[in-house]
Structure 1
Amino acid sequence: MQNLKIGIFGVGAIGSVVSLKLDASHNKYYYNRSQKTEIVVVHQEEVYQEKITLSNSDAPIDLDWLLICLKEYQLAGAEKALSSLIKQNTKVAVIRNGIRLKEPILKYTRSENILECMIDCPTQLTASNHYHQLRKPKILVAQNQLSADFKKLFDPTKIEILQVDDYTTTNWEKLIESSALGAILCLSGESCWIFKDENVRELFQKIVKEAIEVARAEGANIREGFMLELLEKVKHYPASKESSMLIDRRMGRTIEINAKNGVISSLGKKHQIKTELNDLITTLLKHTNQQRD
């Protein structure tokens, strides 16, 4: 296998997990705004640990790939570093929640160099400041040559990279579910036991309905039975299941609202679709855990 220079930008939960799944033949370079000297991920009672040294984005090397594992609200503060790290031939994978992941990166490189990645890897921060990976990670990408090259970066025994024909629809389906689920749990402060309440399931349905209309306007092929599938699914969520939005609220962190209900709200306005519930959720949660003047 070819030895490549791979940068990991953002060594939080996703960056930590993804970096440990890269094939051992590659050279890894870590970039993070706060100091970090090791990565520790626990999965099925196994502990995966790696000592790391952060690299300086002001003195960049020519990376073959840059894996951006930042949250949406962190991108604005990373502009200087990204402009230094992304060279003409650097391939970029954007791994985070949301849709239209390419758009903020187009100022640094061409569209054909950017791969949008949808990750499914529930990970929780433990009391010892390590990450608990709940299941084998899965990353979904569009079917093209760039994604085929991306897939080769990883050890296939540690992570599943799935190339899908209709990435737009697949991505929207995840966003629709996670934004409605996350908003309800975050605003209520409760885990999924709350979906035993019929009124809560009705609220979930209304939030989802708005998002489906926007998704279809954006070109997603959301099938007719999708709503019923989600309503059935929420009835069987484990009572203790939480969402990343709820965890962020509890931990005092910024809510990634613009990547979820916020983007549904803004695209609804673009297509003149009413998204009153997503508008309300966005208005409330954009102020959560923010500094007061």
Structure 2
Amino acid sequence: MTSVAIIGAGAIGTVLAAAVHRTGADTVLCTRTPVGELVLADDDGEHAVDVPVRTDPATAAPVDWVLLTTKGQDVAGAAPWLSRLRAPETTVVALQNGVEHRERVTPLAGSARVLPALVYIAAERIAAGRVRHRRGRRIVVPENADASAFAALLAGSGLEVHREPDFTTAAWRKLLGNVAANPITALTLRRLEVLRDGEIGELTRTLLTEAIAVGAACGARLDAADLRRTLDFYREFAADDGTSMLYDRLAGRPPETDLINGAIVRFGREHGVPTPANQAVHALLAALQPERADLAS
């Protein structure tokens, strides 16, 4: 039987645990703290996620697949798990925001292979052990042999795996989906209805325009059509939908600004592309965490 370990019991980790368990794979959820009953709610009702939970890396053994669902800034905290779960034949799937999946995870993966993944799943942790899957079932991975095996793993899970030949462009397009909505909702503590405000709409366009210029400088095939495409994407969401950064702020967790707006600023400096709007929102989000504020300078 295929063995799968999911690191992280947040919203995405819970959705994936339920999906993988549905395929019949030998599934275990790895988390830092004990988890009681896990419940996943969707349009079809509430479903118990009946998978074993481990809280001590010392009890873990190598598996075929590791699905890493922690926030990008928390990858180092997953190191004890990865050191026990990995083997030469293991594939570590990095299901995270940003465009530097391999750079973050490979140093901790040892001889295991790393497969970057873009997650188009909107899910919210609404209480301890309770997650609401709002919309989306698509995961995008680069087109290679590991991607084909991953698609086979999730066959029958209810999730869709799309294999993308131009993963660089796909990753930057996914970043565009985060680069405006996430910081604006996190800073205003409002849901996606905030994007409909006139002045906020202008800020949204500015953040996206800067990010498109930076992405193009980094080799992604982005242009003005991506601005229209991303604005249309935002309009698809309900007014009461939120973002991962907003959920983090509401829960008292640090928002992953370093991977999103911080990455735009960093790559912009590297390529000589001005990013004053992204610099501003990144600095404001970092200032909410005094111990991290120097990262925005």
TM-score (norm 1): 0.90
Asked if 2 retains the 8 angstrom alpha-carbon contact of 1:102 and 1:111, the reply is: no
Kindly indicate whether residue 62 of structure 2 is the aligned counterpart of residue 65 of structure 1.
no
Matched ranges for 1:101-120 at <5 A: 101-109=101-109, 113-120=113-120
Q: For 1:161 and 1:59, locate their aligned partners in 2 and report how far apart those are by CA, in whole Å.
A: 31
- Residue 295 of structure 2 corresponds to none
SS in 2 for 1:213: helix
- Residue 41 of structure 1 corresponds to 40
Q: For 2:234 and 2:108, locate their aligned partners in 1 and report how far apart those are by CA, in whole Å.
A: 40
Cα shift at 1:108: 3.5
Q: For 1:272 and 1:13, locate their aligned partners in 2 and report how far apart those are by CA, in whole Å.
A: 37
Q: For 1:276 and 1:103, locate their aligned partners in 2 and report how far apart those are by CA, in whole Å.
A: 26
Size of the aligned set, in residue pairs, is: 290
| 106-115 or 270-279, which deviates more | 106-115
SS in 1 for 2:201: helix
RMSD in angstroms over aligned alpha carbons? 2.3
- Residue 25 of structure 1 corresponds to 24
| 35-44 or 236-245, which deviates more | 236-245
Superposed CA deviations along residues 166-202 of structure 1, whole A, max 9, x for unmatched, are: 2211221121131111112222222233333332211
1:43/1:224 Cα in 2 relative to 1: closer, same or farther (>3 Å)? same
- Residue 82 of structure 1 corresponds to 82
Matched ranges for 1:85-234 at <5 A: 85-109=85-109, 113-127=113-127, 129-156=129-156, 158-234=158-234
1:57/1:110 Cα in 2 relative to 1: closer, same or farther (>3 Å)? closer
Kindly indicate whether residue 13 of structure 2 is the aligned counterpart of residue 11 of structure 1.
no
1:12/1:192 Cα in 2 relative to 1: closer, same or farther (>3 Å)? closer
Asked if 2 retains the 8 angstrom alpha-carbon contact of 1:255 and 1:289, the reply is: no
Superposed CA deviations along residues 57-91 of structure 1, whole A, max 9, x for unmatched, are: 22432211111111012112222332232222211
1:108/1:235 Cα in 2 relative to 1: closer, same or farther (>3 Å)? closer
Q: For 2:88 and 2:235, locate their aligned partners in 1 and report how far apart those are by CA, in whole Å.
A: 49
SS in 2 for 1:286: helix
Q: For 2:229 and 2:281, locate their aligned partners in 1 and report how far apart those are by CA, in whole Å.
A: 23
Q: Which amino acid counterpart does residue 4 of structure 1 have in structure 2?
A: T
1:36/1:222 Cα in 2 relative to 1: closer, same or farther (>3 Å)? same
What 5-or-longer segments of structure 2 have no aligned partner? 293-297
Cα shift at 1:158: 1.1
Q: For 1:136 and 1:200, locate their aligned partners in 2 and report how far apart those are by CA, in whole Å.
A: 25
SS in 1 for 2:135: coil
Q: For 1:4 and 1:187, locate their aligned partners in 2 and report how far apart those are by CA, in whole Å.
A: 42
Asked if 2 retains the 8 angstrom alpha-carbon contact of 1:6 and 1:27, the reply is: yes
Q: For 2:233 and 2:105, locate their aligned partners in 1 and report how far apart those are by CA, in whole Å.
A: 35
Asked if 2 retains the 8 angstrom alpha-carbon contact of 1:255 and 1:288, the reply is: no
Superposed CA deviations along residues 80-104 of structure 1, whole A, max 9, x for unmatched, are: 3322322222111011111110112
Superposed CA deviations along residues 119-168 of structure 1, whole A, max 9, x for unmatched, are: 11111122464111112521111111100001111243511111122221
Q: Which amino acid counterpart does residue 200 of structure 1 have in structure 2?
A: I
Asked if 2 retains the 8 angstrom alpha-carbon contact of 1:8 and 1:31, the reply is: yes
TM-score (norm 2): 0.89
SS in 1 for 2:104: helix
- Residue 287 of structure 1 corresponds to 287
Percent of residue pairs identical:
26
